[in-house]
Chain A
Protein backbone atom coordinates (compact mmCIF):
# COMPACT_ATOMS: atom_id res chain seq x y z
CA UNK A 1 0.00 0.00 0.00
CA UNK A 2 1.17 3.46 -0.80
CA UNK A 3 2.25 5.45 2.23
CA UNK A 4 0.78 8.74 3.24
CA UNK A 5 3.96 10.53 2.30
CA UNK A 6 3.81 8.99 -1.15
CA UNK A 7 0.19 9.98 -1.44
CA UNK A 8 0.98 13.49 -0.40
CA UNK A 9 3.70 13.65 -2.97
CA UNK A 10 1.20 12.36 -5.49
CA UNK A 11 -1.16 15.19 -4.72
CA UNK A 12 1.55 17.76 -4.95
CA UNK A 13 0.66 20.59 -7.20
CA UNK A 14 3.99 20.73 -8.85
CA UNK A 15 4.75 17.25 -10.06
CA UNK A 16 3.74 15.71 -13.32
CA UNK A 17 0.75 13.46 -13.64
CA UNK A 18 2.90 10.74 -15.13
CA UNK A 19 4.77 10.48 -11.86
CA UNK A 20 1.54 10.41 -9.91
CA UNK A 21 0.10 7.79 -12.19
CA UNK A 22 3.14 5.68 -11.62
CA UNK A 23 2.52 5.90 -7.90
CA UNK A 24 -1.10 5.02 -8.51
CA UNK A 25 -0.13 1.87 -10.32
CA UNK A 26 1.74 0.81 -7.20
CA UNK A 27 -1.36 1.12 -5.06
CA UNK A 28 -3.53 -0.85 -7.35
CA UNK A 29 -5.23 -4.11 -6.77
CA UNK A 30 -5.68 -6.74 -9.44
CA UNK A 31 -7.93 -4.52 -11.52
CA UNK A 32 -5.15 -1.96 -11.88
CA UNK A 33 -3.04 -4.06 -14.18
CA UNK A 34 -2.17 -1.18 -16.44
CA UNK A 35 0.28 1.48 -15.43
CA UNK A 36 -1.56 4.74 -16.04
CA UNK A 37 1.74 6.53 -16.45
CA UNK A 38 2.37 4.55 -19.62
CA UNK A 39 -0.69 5.93 -21.37
CA UNK A 40 0.44 8.53 -23.86
CA UNK A 41 -2.41 10.98 -23.47
CA UNK A 42 -0.86 13.24 -26.07
CA UNK A 43 -1.90 10.69 -28.66
CA UNK A 44 -5.54 10.69 -27.61
CA UNK A 45 -7.58 13.52 -29.05
CA UNK A 46 -9.47 15.29 -26.26
CA UNK A 47 -13.19 16.00 -26.52
CA UNK A 48 -14.34 19.34 -25.18
CA UNK A 49 -17.41 18.90 -23.01
CA UNK A 50 -18.90 22.16 -21.78
CA UNK A 51 -20.61 22.06 -18.39
CA UNK A 52 -22.89 24.80 -17.10
CA UNK A 53 -24.38 25.89 -13.79
CA UNK A 54 -27.98 24.60 -13.69
CA UNK A 55 -29.20 26.14 -10.43
CA UNK A 56 -32.53 24.65 -9.39
CA UNK A 57 -33.59 23.41 -12.84
CA UNK A 58 -35.15 20.23 -11.49
CA UNK A 59 -37.07 17.48 -13.24
CA UNK A 60 -40.24 19.20 -12.01
CA UNK A 61 -39.21 22.72 -13.08
CA UNK A 62 -38.34 21.48 -16.55
CA UNK A 63 -41.86 20.08 -16.89
CA UNK A 64 -43.54 23.23 -15.61
CA UNK A 65 -44.68 26.32 -17.48
CA UNK A 66 -41.67 28.12 -16.01
CA UNK A 67 -39.61 26.23 -18.60
CA UNK A 68 -40.95 28.51 -21.30
CA UNK A 69 -42.19 26.80 -24.40
CA UNK A 70 -40.67 23.48 -23.43
CA UNK A 71 -42.81 21.91 -20.69
CA UNK A 72 -44.76 19.75 -23.11
CA UNK A 73 -41.64 18.75 -25.01
CA UNK A 74 -39.79 17.80 -21.83
CA UNK A 75 -42.77 15.83 -20.56
CA UNK A 76 -42.90 13.77 -23.73
CA UNK A 77 -39.17 13.00 -23.34
CA UNK A 78 -37.60 15.23 -25.96
CA UNK A 79 -33.87 15.70 -25.75
CA UNK A 80 -32.60 18.84 -24.00
CA UNK A 81 -30.45 19.61 -27.00
CA UNK A 82 -33.36 19.42 -29.43
CA UNK A 83 -34.04 23.00 -28.32
CA UNK A 84 -30.79 23.93 -26.53
CA UNK A 85 -28.64 23.52 -29.62
CA UNK A 86 -26.69 26.75 -29.92
CA UNK A 87 -22.94 26.34 -30.35
CA UNK A 88 -22.54 28.24 -27.09
CA UNK A 89 -25.64 26.89 -25.37
CA UNK A 90 -23.96 25.98 -22.09
CA UNK A 91 -22.24 29.36 -21.90
CA UNK A 92 -25.56 31.14 -22.53
CA UNK A 93 -27.50 29.17 -19.93
CA UNK A 94 -24.81 29.27 -17.25
CA UNK A 95 -24.24 33.00 -17.55
CA UNK A 96 -27.97 33.69 -17.51
CA UNK A 97 -28.66 31.64 -14.39
CA UNK A 98 -25.77 33.22 -12.48
CA UNK A 99 -26.19 36.81 -13.55
CA UNK A 100 -28.24 37.61 -10.46
CA UNK A 101 -31.94 37.59 -9.77
CA UNK A 102 -32.63 34.54 -11.89
CA UNK A 103 -35.44 32.35 -10.52
CA UNK A 104 -33.27 29.24 -10.76
CA UNK A 105 -30.54 30.62 -8.48
CA UNK A 106 -31.86 32.44 -5.42
CA UNK A 107 -28.43 33.09 -3.92
CA UNK A 108 -26.14 35.78 -5.29
CA UNK A 109 -22.95 33.91 -6.17
CA UNK A 110 -20.51 36.67 -6.85
CA UNK A 111 -17.62 35.59 -9.03
CA UNK A 112 -19.08 32.19 -9.84
CA UNK A 113 -18.30 31.04 -13.37
CA UNK A 114 -21.30 30.07 -15.50
CA UNK A 115 -19.61 27.28 -17.37
CA UNK A 116 -16.62 24.96 -17.26
CA UNK A 117 -14.71 23.61 -20.22
CA UNK A 118 -13.96 19.97 -19.47
CA UNK A 119 -11.36 18.32 -21.66
CA UNK A 120 -12.08 14.59 -21.74
CA UNK A 121 -9.95 11.75 -23.05
CA UNK A 122 -10.65 8.05 -22.77
CA UNK A 123 -8.83 4.80 -23.35
CA UNK A 124 -9.23 1.14 -22.45
CA UNK A 125 -7.33 -2.11 -22.39
CA UNK A 126 -8.30 -5.65 -21.52
CA UNK A 127 -8.78 -4.78 -17.85
CA UNK A 128 -9.91 -1.20 -17.44
CA UNK A 129 -11.38 1.93 -18.93
CA UNK A 130 -9.38 5.12 -18.29
CA UNK A 131 -11.06 8.50 -18.32
CA UNK A 132 -8.92 11.59 -18.07
CA UNK A 133 -10.54 14.97 -17.46
CA UNK A 134 -8.98 18.39 -17.12
CA UNK A 135 -10.61 21.65 -16.06
CA UNK A 136 -9.70 25.03 -14.71
CA UNK A 137 -10.86 25.80 -11.18
CA UNK A 138 -12.37 29.11 -10.22
CA UNK A 139 -9.83 29.49 -7.43
CA UNK A 140 -6.43 29.94 -9.02
CA UNK A 141 -4.41 29.94 -5.82
CA UNK A 142 -5.56 26.85 -3.94
CA UNK A 143 -7.34 23.65 -4.99
CA UNK A 144 -10.56 22.58 -3.30
CA UNK A 145 -8.99 19.93 -1.09
CA UNK A 146 -10.59 21.23 2.10
CA UNK A 147 -13.71 19.96 3.82
CA UNK A 148 -15.81 20.91 6.86
CA UNK A 149 -14.14 19.81 10.11
CA UNK A 150 -14.95 18.96 13.70
CA UNK A 151 -14.00 21.94 15.84
CA UNK A 152 -13.54 21.74 19.60
CA UNK A 153 -15.42 24.50 21.41
CA UNK A 154 -13.90 23.80 24.81
CA UNK A 155 -16.52 21.14 25.61
CA UNK A 156 -17.63 19.38 22.46
CA UNK A 157 -16.48 18.60 18.93
CA UNK A 158 -18.92 20.29 16.56
CA UNK A 159 -19.17 20.47 12.80
CA UNK A 160 -17.53 23.64 11.49
CA UNK A 161 -17.66 25.00 7.99
CA UNK A 162 -20.28 24.24 5.37
CA UNK A 163 -20.70 24.22 1.65
CA UNK A 164 -21.21 27.66 0.15
CA UNK A 165 -24.97 27.30 -0.48
CA UNK A 166 -25.77 26.24 3.08
CA UNK A 167 -27.70 29.00 4.93
CA UNK A 168 -25.10 29.42 7.70
CA UNK A 169 -22.34 29.78 5.10
CA UNK A 170 -24.43 32.22 3.08
CA UNK A 171 -25.02 34.25 6.27
CA UNK A 172 -21.32 34.21 7.10
CA UNK A 173 -21.89 32.29 10.34
CA UNK A 174 -19.54 29.51 9.30
CA UNK A 175 -16.79 29.36 6.67
CA UNK A 176 -17.67 28.19 3.18
CA UNK A 177 -15.72 25.00 2.59
CA UNK A 178 -16.18 21.87 0.51
CA UNK A 179 -14.11 19.55 -1.65
CA UNK A 180 -13.82 19.70 -5.43
CA UNK A 181 -15.33 16.75 -7.28
CA UNK A 182 -15.58 15.21 -10.73
CA UNK A 183 -18.62 12.99 -11.28
CA UNK A 184 -19.91 10.80 -14.08
CA UNK A 185 -23.37 9.29 -14.27
CA UNK A 186 -23.36 6.41 -16.66
CA UNK A 187 -26.20 4.52 -18.34
CA UNK A 188 -25.98 1.44 -20.51
CA UNK A 189 -29.25 2.20 -22.27
CA UNK A 190 -31.49 0.65 -19.64
CA UNK A 191 -32.61 3.88 -17.98
CA UNK A 192 -35.56 5.27 -19.93
CA UNK A 193 -35.04 8.89 -20.90
CA UNK A 194 -31.41 9.24 -19.82
CA UNK A 195 -30.13 9.31 -23.40
CA UNK A 196 -32.24 12.42 -23.99
CA UNK A 197 -32.36 14.24 -20.68
CA UNK A 198 -29.32 12.94 -18.83
CA UNK A 199 -28.66 14.01 -15.26
CA UNK A 200 -31.84 16.08 -15.15
CA UNK A 201 -33.79 12.85 -14.68
CA UNK A 202 -32.23 12.55 -11.23
CA UNK A 203 -32.50 16.12 -9.94
CA UNK A 204 -35.75 16.85 -8.12
CA UNK A 205 -37.53 19.35 -5.97
CA UNK A 206 -37.25 18.32 -2.33
CA UNK A 207 -33.58 17.40 -2.56
CA UNK A 208 -30.94 19.26 -0.61
CA UNK A 209 -30.64 22.88 -1.81
CA UNK A 210 -33.47 22.42 -4.27
CA UNK A 211 -36.92 24.01 -4.27
CA UNK A 212 -39.14 22.87 -1.42
CA UNK A 213 -36.27 21.06 0.27
CA UNK A 214 -37.77 18.28 2.38
CA UNK A 215 -37.81 18.76 6.12
CA UNK A 216 -36.54 16.08 8.48
CA UNK A 217 -40.11 15.50 9.63
CA UNK A 218 -41.31 15.01 6.06
CA UNK A 219 -38.53 12.53 5.38
CA UNK A 220 -39.19 10.69 8.63
CA UNK A 221 -42.84 10.35 7.68
CA UNK A 222 -42.07 8.97 4.23
CA UNK A 223 -42.52 5.19 3.92
CA UNK A 224 -39.76 4.59 1.36
CA UNK A 225 -37.11 6.79 2.97
CA UNK A 226 -37.91 5.32 6.36
CA UNK A 227 -37.64 1.82 4.95
CA UNK A 228 -34.22 2.52 3.47
CA UNK A 229 -33.15 4.50 6.56
CA UNK A 230 -32.40 7.83 4.91
CA UNK A 231 -32.61 11.26 6.52
CA UNK A 232 -32.93 13.38 3.41
CA UNK A 233 -33.90 13.28 -0.25
CA UNK A 234 -31.11 12.67 -2.73
CA UNK A 235 -30.96 12.04 -6.47
CA UNK A 236 -33.55 9.56 -7.70
CA UNK A 237 -34.77 8.13 -10.97
CA UNK A 238 -38.41 8.44 -12.10
CA UNK A 239 -38.86 4.65 -12.00
CA UNK A 240 -38.54 4.73 -8.21
CA UNK A 241 -41.61 6.89 -7.66
CA UNK A 242 -45.29 6.32 -8.44
CA UNK A 243 -45.34 9.98 -9.46
CA UNK A 244 -41.84 10.98 -10.58
CA UNK A 245 -42.71 14.63 -9.89
CA UNK A 246 -43.21 13.93 -6.19
CA UNK A 247 -40.38 12.49 -4.10
CA UNK A 248 -42.91 11.44 -1.48
CA UNK A 249 -44.44 8.77 -3.73
CA UNK A 250 -41.73 6.17 -3.40
CA UNK A 251 -42.49 2.69 -4.63
CA UNK A 252 -42.02 -0.33 -2.43
CA UNK A 253 -38.58 -1.68 -1.66
CA UNK A 254 -39.53 -4.80 -3.61
CA UNK A 255 -40.47 -2.80 -6.72
CA UNK A 256 -37.23 -0.85 -6.51
CA UNK A 257 -35.21 -4.06 -6.16
CA UNK A 258 -36.94 -5.34 -9.29
CA UNK A 259 -35.99 -2.19 -11.20
CA UNK A 260 -32.40 -2.55 -10.01
CA UNK A 261 -32.30 -6.18 -11.09
CA UNK A 262 -33.49 -5.03 -14.50
CA UNK A 263 -30.61 -2.60 -14.75
CA UNK A 264 -32.76 0.53 -14.39
CA UNK A 265 -30.16 2.46 -12.43
CA UNK A 266 -27.28 4.79 -13.17
CA UNK A 267 -23.71 4.12 -12.21
CA UNK A 268 -22.29 7.11 -10.33
CA UNK A 269 -18.53 7.49 -10.36
CA UNK A 270 -17.12 10.33 -8.24
CA UNK A 271 -13.58 11.50 -7.70
CA UNK A 272 -13.19 13.63 -4.58
CA UNK A 273 -10.34 16.04 -3.91
CA UNK A 274 -10.51 15.60 -0.12
CA UNK A 275 -12.07 12.22 0.61
CA UNK A 276 -10.58 9.93 -2.05
CA UNK A 277 -7.71 11.49 -3.97
CA UNK A 278 -4.73 10.97 -1.71
CA UNK A 279 -5.50 7.27 -1.31
CA UNK A 280 -5.98 6.75 -5.05
CA UNK A 281 -9.69 6.08 -4.70
CA UNK A 282 -12.79 7.06 -6.62
CA UNK A 283 -16.33 6.48 -5.34
CA UNK A 284 -18.46 3.81 -6.92
CA UNK A 285 -22.16 4.42 -6.40
CA UNK A 286 -25.48 4.22 -8.16
CA UNK A 287 -28.65 6.24 -8.47
CA UNK A 288 -32.06 4.64 -8.31
CA UNK A 289 -34.32 5.51 -5.36
CA UNK A 290 -31.50 7.52 -3.74
CA UNK A 291 -27.87 8.40 -4.38
CA UNK A 292 -26.42 5.18 -3.04
CA UNK A 293 -22.90 3.93 -2.52
CA UNK A 294 -22.23 0.46 -3.85
CA UNK A 295 -22.03 -2.41 -1.37
CA UNK A 296 -18.79 -2.76 0.53
CA UNK A 297 -16.63 -0.07 2.06
CA UNK A 298 -15.66 3.33 0.67
CA UNK A 299 -12.21 4.86 0.63
CA UNK A 300 -13.32 7.18 3.43
CA UNK A 301 -15.18 6.73 6.71
CA UNK A 302 -16.56 8.99 9.42
CA UNK A 303 -14.04 10.23 11.95
CA UNK A 304 -16.66 10.61 14.67
CA UNK A 305 -17.09 8.05 17.42
CA UNK A 306 -20.84 8.07 17.94
CA UNK A 307 -20.51 6.58 21.42
CA UNK A 308 -18.04 9.08 22.87
CA UNK A 309 -18.91 12.00 20.56
CA UNK A 310 -15.22 12.56 19.97
CA UNK A 311 -13.09 12.03 16.85
CA UNK A 312 -11.69 8.58 16.24
CA UNK A 313 -8.36 9.80 14.89
CA UNK A 314 -6.14 12.82 15.18
CA UNK A 315 -3.03 13.84 13.31
CA UNK A 316 0.38 12.36 14.07
CA UNK A 317 2.12 15.58 15.07
CA UNK A 318 5.45 14.30 13.81
CA UNK A 319 4.04 13.87 10.31
CA UNK A 320 1.51 16.70 10.11
CA UNK A 321 3.30 19.34 12.16
CA UNK A 322 0.64 19.34 14.86
CA UNK A 323 -2.06 17.11 16.29
CA UNK A 324 -4.83 19.24 14.81
CA UNK A 325 -5.63 22.20 12.63
CA UNK A 326 -6.24 25.63 14.07
CA UNK A 327 -7.84 28.82 12.79
CA UNK A 328 -4.39 29.93 11.65
CA UNK A 329 -4.02 27.17 9.08
CA UNK A 330 -7.64 26.29 8.29
CA UNK A 331 -8.19 26.52 4.51
CA UNK A 332 -4.51 27.27 4.11
CA UNK A 333 -2.71 24.06 4.96
CA UNK A 334 -3.80 20.66 3.63
CA UNK A 335 -5.34 18.56 6.39
CA UNK A 336 -6.34 15.16 5.07
CA UNK A 337 -6.35 12.33 7.58
CA UNK A 338 -5.05 8.99 6.31
CA UNK A 339 -5.01 5.74 8.27
CA UNK A 340 -1.60 4.17 8.14
CA UNK A 341 -0.22 7.56 7.19
CA UNK A 342 -0.61 10.70 9.27
CA UNK A 343 -3.46 9.45 11.52
CA UNK A 344 -3.11 8.14 15.05
CA UNK A 345 -5.89 7.17 17.47
CA UNK A 346 -7.56 10.13 19.13
CA UNK A 347 -6.27 10.93 22.59
CA UNK A 348 -8.89 12.67 24.72
CA UNK A 349 -6.15 13.80 27.09
CA UNK A 350 -3.98 15.49 24.52
CA UNK A 351 -4.64 18.96 25.88
CA UNK A 352 -7.32 20.07 23.43
CA UNK A 353 -8.03 23.77 23.24
CA UNK A 354 -11.06 25.59 21.91
CA UNK A 355 -10.54 26.12 18.19
CA UNK A 356 -8.68 22.87 17.55
CA UNK A 357 -9.96 21.15 14.44
CA UNK A 358 -9.86 17.61 13.09
CA UNK A 359 -11.12 16.20 9.78
CA UNK A 360 -14.63 14.75 9.58
CA UNK A 361 -13.39 11.80 7.56
CA UNK A 362 -10.49 9.41 7.72
CA UNK A 363 -9.23 7.84 4.51
CA UNK A 364 -7.92 4.36 3.88
CA UNK A 365 -7.16 2.49 0.69
CA UNK A 366 -6.58 -0.68 2.69
CA UNK A 367 -9.99 -0.56 4.37
CA UNK A 368 -11.86 0.06 1.13
CA UNK A 369 -13.40 -3.05 -0.32
CA UNK A 370 -16.23 -4.69 -2.17
CA UNK A 371 -18.12 -3.12 -5.02
CA UNK A 372 -17.76 0.35 -3.43
CA UNK A 373 -14.02 0.22 -4.01
CA UNK A 374 -14.02 -0.82 -7.67
CA UNK A 375 -12.91 2.51 -9.06
CA UNK A 376 -9.48 4.03 -8.63
CA UNK A 377 -8.01 7.32 -9.72
CA UNK A 378 -5.81 10.24 -9.05
CA UNK A 379 -5.90 13.98 -9.53
CA UNK A 380 -3.23 16.62 -9.70
CA UNK A 381 -3.88 20.35 -9.39
CA UNK A 382 -1.33 22.56 -11.04
CA UNK A 383 -1.52 26.17 -12.21
CA UNK A 384 -5.23 26.39 -11.46
CA UNK A 385 -6.15 23.20 -13.30
CA UNK A 386 -7.16 19.75 -12.15
CA UNK A 387 -6.03 16.77 -14.18
CA UNK A 388 -7.89 13.67 -13.02
CA UNK A 389 -7.61 10.12 -14.28
CA UNK A 390 -10.36 7.68 -13.30
CA UNK A 391 -9.73 3.96 -13.68
CA UNK A 392 -12.79 1.77 -14.03
CA UNK A 393 -12.47 -2.02 -14.30
CA UNK A 394 -14.24 -3.55 -17.28
CA UNK A 395 -16.97 -6.17 -17.09
CA UNK A 396 -17.91 -5.63 -13.45
CA UNK A 397 -20.63 -8.12 -12.58
CA UNK A 398 -21.84 -6.64 -9.28
CA UNK A 399 -25.57 -5.96 -9.12
CA UNK A 400 -24.87 -2.27 -8.44
CA UNK A 401 -22.52 -1.73 -11.38
CA UNK A 402 -22.79 -1.19 -15.10
CA UNK A 403 -20.36 -3.59 -16.69
CA UNK A 404 -18.35 -1.76 -19.34
CA UNK A 405 -17.26 -3.76 -22.34
CA UNK A 406 -15.14 -3.21 -25.43
CA UNK A 407 -17.38 -2.08 -28.25
CA UNK A 408 -19.99 -0.72 -25.88
CA UNK A 409 -21.52 2.75 -26.12
CA UNK A 410 -22.78 4.39 -22.95
CA UNK A 411 -24.71 7.56 -22.11
CA UNK A 412 -22.75 9.76 -19.75
CA UNK A 413 -23.43 12.95 -17.84
CA UNK A 414 -20.48 14.86 -16.38
CA UNK A 415 -20.45 17.16 -13.36
CA UNK A 416 -17.81 19.27 -11.64
CA UNK A 417 -18.15 20.71 -8.16
CA UNK A 418 -15.92 23.69 -7.50
CA UNK A 419 -15.82 26.77 -5.27
CA UNK A 420 -16.69 25.02 -1.98
CA UNK A 421 -20.06 23.77 -3.17
CA UNK A 422 -22.06 20.58 -3.23
CA UNK A 423 -25.63 19.57 -4.13
CA UNK A 424 -26.97 21.97 -6.82
CA UNK A 425 -23.73 23.95 -6.73
CA UNK A 426 -22.17 22.14 -9.65
CA UNK A 427 -21.64 22.46 -13.35
CA UNK A 428 -23.27 19.74 -15.44
CA UNK A 429 -23.17 18.60 -19.04
CA UNK A 430 -25.92 17.70 -21.43
CA UNK A 431 -25.79 13.96 -21.94
CA UNK A 432 -22.92 12.63 -24.08
CA UNK A 433 -21.98 9.20 -25.36
CA UNK A 434 -18.84 7.30 -24.44
CA UNK A 435 -17.75 4.51 -26.76
CA UNK A 436 -15.12 1.92 -25.93
CA UNK A 437 -13.61 1.47 -29.34
CA UNK A 438 -16.95 2.50 -30.83
CA UNK A 439 -18.29 5.64 -32.46
CA UNK A 440 -19.44 8.12 -29.82
CA UNK A 441 -19.07 11.72 -28.66
CA UNK A 442 -16.10 10.54 -26.60
CA UNK A 443 -14.27 7.62 -28.12
CA UNK A 444 -12.04 5.56 -25.87
CA UNK A 445 -9.16 4.19 -27.85
CA UNK A 446 -7.84 0.66 -27.36
CA UNK A 447 -4.41 0.69 -25.78
CA UNK A 448 -1.77 -1.59 -27.20
Chain B
Protein backbone atom coordinates (compact mmCIF):
# COMPACT_ATOMS: atom_id res chain seq x y z
CA UNK B 1 0.00 0.00 0.00
CA UNK B 2 1.43 3.42 -0.88
CA UNK B 3 2.56 5.60 1.95
CA UNK B 4 -0.12 8.26 2.28
CA UNK B 5 0.04 11.52 4.15
CA UNK B 6 -1.94 11.36 7.36
CA UNK B 7 -5.53 12.35 6.79
CA UNK B 8 -5.48 14.67 9.77
CA UNK B 9 -2.68 16.76 8.35
CA UNK B 10 -4.14 16.74 4.88
CA UNK B 11 -7.56 17.80 6.08
CA UNK B 12 -6.05 20.52 8.21
CA UNK B 13 -3.86 21.74 5.40
CA UNK B 14 -6.76 21.68 2.98
CA UNK B 15 -8.71 23.83 5.39
CA UNK B 16 -5.84 26.29 5.70
CA UNK B 17 -5.40 26.41 1.95
CA UNK B 18 -9.11 27.00 1.48
CA UNK B 19 -9.09 29.79 3.99
CA UNK B 20 -6.00 31.36 2.45
CA UNK B 21 -4.23 31.36 5.77
CA UNK B 22 -0.76 30.62 4.47
CA UNK B 23 1.74 33.42 4.18
CA UNK B 24 3.34 33.62 0.78
CA UNK B 25 7.10 33.34 0.35
CA UNK B 26 8.91 36.61 0.22
CA UNK B 27 6.98 37.96 3.14
CA UNK B 28 7.41 36.93 6.76
CA UNK B 29 8.48 33.38 7.72
CA UNK B 30 5.56 31.03 7.27
CA UNK B 31 4.20 29.88 10.57
CA UNK B 32 2.94 26.52 9.44
CA UNK B 33 3.69 23.69 11.83
CA UNK B 34 1.34 21.44 9.91
CA UNK B 35 3.39 21.88 6.74
CA UNK B 36 6.61 21.25 8.62
CA UNK B 37 5.07 18.12 10.12
CA UNK B 38 4.12 16.90 6.67
CA UNK B 39 7.63 17.66 5.41
CA UNK B 40 9.04 15.49 8.18
CA UNK B 41 6.34 12.86 7.86
CA UNK B 42 7.60 12.37 4.32
CA UNK B 43 11.17 12.08 5.59
CA UNK B 44 12.25 15.10 3.54
CA UNK B 45 14.26 16.16 6.58
CA UNK B 46 16.47 13.08 6.20
CA UNK B 47 18.20 14.92 3.34
CA UNK B 48 17.23 18.58 3.83
CA UNK B 49 18.08 20.47 7.00
CA UNK B 50 16.91 24.06 7.44
CA UNK B 51 20.38 25.54 7.68
CA UNK B 52 23.05 23.00 6.80
CA UNK B 53 23.72 20.67 3.91
CA UNK B 54 23.00 17.00 4.45
CA UNK B 55 22.60 14.65 1.54
CA UNK B 56 20.62 17.40 -0.13
CA UNK B 57 20.97 21.17 0.05
CA UNK B 58 19.80 23.14 3.08
CA UNK B 59 16.34 24.65 2.84
CA UNK B 60 17.94 28.09 3.15
CA UNK B 61 20.09 27.32 0.12
CA UNK B 62 17.04 26.24 -1.89
CA UNK B 63 15.20 29.40 -0.90
CA UNK B 64 18.21 31.48 -1.88
CA UNK B 65 18.46 29.74 -5.24
CA UNK B 66 14.90 30.60 -6.13
CA UNK B 67 14.71 34.00 -4.50
CA UNK B 68 12.84 36.52 -6.65
CA UNK B 69 11.83 33.99 -9.25
CA UNK B 70 8.17 34.01 -10.13
CA UNK B 71 8.04 30.29 -10.82
CA UNK B 72 9.91 29.28 -7.64
CA UNK B 73 6.97 27.43 -6.09
CA UNK B 74 6.26 25.53 -9.30
CA UNK B 75 9.91 24.50 -9.62
CA UNK B 76 10.07 23.16 -6.09
CA UNK B 77 6.77 21.35 -6.55
CA UNK B 78 8.12 19.81 -9.74
CA UNK B 79 11.20 18.54 -7.91
CA UNK B 80 9.19 16.90 -5.17
CA UNK B 81 6.54 15.54 -7.53
CA UNK B 82 8.49 14.13 -10.43
CA UNK B 83 11.58 12.85 -8.74
CA UNK B 84 14.32 12.19 -11.23
CA UNK B 85 18.05 12.31 -10.79
CA UNK B 86 19.63 14.93 -8.59
CA UNK B 87 23.31 15.70 -8.30
CA UNK B 88 24.73 15.41 -4.81
CA UNK B 89 27.54 17.40 -3.25
CA UNK B 90 29.89 14.43 -3.55
CA UNK B 91 29.41 14.43 -7.31
CA UNK B 92 27.24 11.33 -7.44
CA UNK B 93 23.62 11.21 -8.59
CA UNK B 94 20.62 9.79 -6.80
CA UNK B 95 16.88 9.53 -7.34
CA UNK B 96 14.93 12.30 -5.62
CA UNK B 97 12.07 10.99 -3.55
CA UNK B 98 8.56 11.68 -4.80
CA UNK B 99 6.52 13.10 -1.97
CA UNK B 100 3.50 11.09 -0.87
CA UNK B 101 1.08 13.97 -1.07
CA UNK B 102 -1.44 13.85 -3.88
CA UNK B 103 -3.15 17.23 -3.50
CA UNK B 104 -1.30 19.78 -5.70
CA UNK B 105 -2.41 22.64 -3.46
CA UNK B 106 -0.81 21.04 -0.45
CA UNK B 107 2.35 20.30 -2.44
CA UNK B 108 2.48 24.00 -3.29
CA UNK B 109 2.11 24.93 0.35
CA UNK B 110 5.03 22.67 1.23
CA UNK B 111 7.06 24.34 -1.51
CA UNK B 112 6.14 27.75 -0.14
CA UNK B 113 7.21 26.66 3.32
CA UNK B 114 10.57 25.50 1.95
CA UNK B 115 11.01 28.79 0.14
CA UNK B 116 10.20 30.74 3.29
CA UNK B 117 13.52 29.73 4.85
A73 touches B41 (CB 8 A): no
B1 touches A69 (CB 8 A): no
> Which of A69, A83, A86, A99 contacts B94, CB < 8 Å?
A69
Q: Closest B-chain residue to A68, C-beta based? A: B97
Residue numbers in A under 8 Å from B1 (CB-CB): 101, 103
B46 touches A92 (CB 8 A): no
> Which of A68, A73, A88, A101 contacts B43, CB < 8 Å?
A68
Question: Which of A68, A86, A102: most chain B CB closer than 10 A?
Answer: A68
B40 touches A86 (CB 8 A): yes
Q: How far is the CB of A440 from chain B (nearest CB, A)?
A: 25
Complex Cα gap A266–B115 (Å): 46
Bin chain B's interface residue count: 10 to 19
Bits for B34-63, please: 1 = Cβ < 8 Å to A, else 0.
000000110101110100001100000000
B41 touches A96 (CB 8 A): yes
Residue numbers in B under 8 Å from A103 (CB-CB): 1, 3
Complex Cα gap A102–B3 (Å): 6
Residue numbers in A under 8 Å from B47 (CB-CB): 69, 83
Residue numbers in A under 8 Å from B40 (CB-CB): 86, 88, 92
List the 5 shortest-distance A-B pairs measured between CB atoms, nearest first.
A83-B46, A68-B97, A101-B1, A92-B40, A69-B97
The chain B residues found within 8 Å of chain A, CB to CB, are 1, 3-4, 6, 40-41, 43, 45-47, 49, 54-55, 94-97
Q: Closest A-chain residue to B40, C-beta based? A: A92
> Which of B41, B49, B54, B94 contacts A92, CB < 8 Å?
B41
Complex Cα gap A70–B43 (Å): 11
With A68-B97, A92-B41 as contacts: A73 and B55 at CB distance below 8 Å = yes
Q: Closest A-chain residue to B1, C-beta based? A: A101
Complex Cα gap A99–B6 (Å): 7
Chain B interface, >50% SS class: loop
Residues of A289-340 whose CB lies within 8 A of B: none
Complex Cα gap A103–B100 (Å): 13
Complex Cα gap A89–B46 (Å): 10
Bits for A85-104, please: 1 = Cβ < 8 Å to B, else 0.
11010001000100101110
Q: Is A140 an interface residue (CB 8 A)?
A: no
Complex Cα gap A103–B55 (Å): 24
Q: Is A84 an interface residue (CB 8 A)?
A: yes
Bin chain A's interface residue count: 10 to 19
Residue numbers in B under 8 Å from A86 (CB-CB): 40, 45
Residue numbers in B under 8 Å from A83 (CB-CB): 46-47, 54-55
Complex Cα gap A102–B1 (Å): 7
Q: Closest A-chain residue to B36, C-beta based? A: A86
Chain A interface, >50% SS class: loop
Complex Cα gap A85–B45 (Å): 8
Complex Cα gap A102–B49 (Å): 24
Residues of A375-396 whose CB lies within 8 A of B: none
B46 touches A70 (CB 8 A): yes
Residues of A42-93 whose CB lies within 8 A of B: 68-70, 72-73, 82-86, 88, 92
Residues of A230-248 whose CB lies within 8 A of B: none
Residue numbers in B under 8 Å from A73 (CB-CB): 55
Q: Closest A-chain residue to B45, C-beta based? A: A86
6 residue pairs bridging A and B, Cβ less than 8 Å apart: A68-B46, A68-B97, A83-B55, A84-B46, A92-B40, A103-B3
Complex Cα gap A96–B39 (Å): 12
Complex Cα gap A92–B9 (Å): 13
Q: How far is the CB of A198 from chain B (nearest CB, A)?
A: 17
Q: How far is the CB of A360 from chain B (nearest CB, A)?
A: 36
Residue numbers in B under 8 Å from A102 (CB-CB): 3
Q: How far is the CB of A259 from chain B (nearest CB, A)?
A: 32
Question: Which of B46, B95, B97: most chain A CB closer than 10 A?
Answer: B46
Q: How far is the CB of B104 from chain A (nearest CB, A)?
A: 21
Q: Closest B-chain residue to A102, C-beta based? A: B3
Q: Closest B-chain residue to A72, C-beta based? A: B94
Complex Cα gap A85–B4 (Å): 22
B46 touches A69 (CB 8 A): yes
Residue numbers in A under 8 Å from B6 (CB-CB): 96, 99
Complex Cα gap A9–B97 (Å): 55
Complex Cα gap A363–B57 (Å): 57
Residue numbers in B under 8 Å from A99 (CB-CB): 6
With A68-B97, A69-B94, A92-B41 as contacts: A101 and B4 at CB distance below 8 Å = yes
Q: Closest B-chain residue to A104, C-beta based? A: B3
Residue numbers in B under 8 Å from A101 (CB-CB): 1, 3-4
Residue numbers in B under 8 Å from A84 (CB-CB): 46
Residue numbers in A under 8 Å from B4 (CB-CB): 101
Complex Cα gap A83–B43 (Å): 9
Given contacts A68-B97, A69-B95, A85-B49, 11 further A-B contacts (CB under 8 A): A68-B46, A69-B43, A69-B46, A69-B55, A69-B96, A72-B94, A85-B45, A86-B40, A86-B45, A99-B6, A103-B3
Complex Cα gap A96–B45 (Å): 14
Residue numbers in A under 8 Å from B45 (CB-CB): 85-86
Q: Closest A-chain residue to B43, C-beta based? A: A68
Q: How far is the CB of A85 from chain B (nearest CB, A)?
A: 8
Complex Cα gap A82–B47 (Å): 9
Q: How far is the CB of B6 from chain A (nearest CB, A)?
A: 5
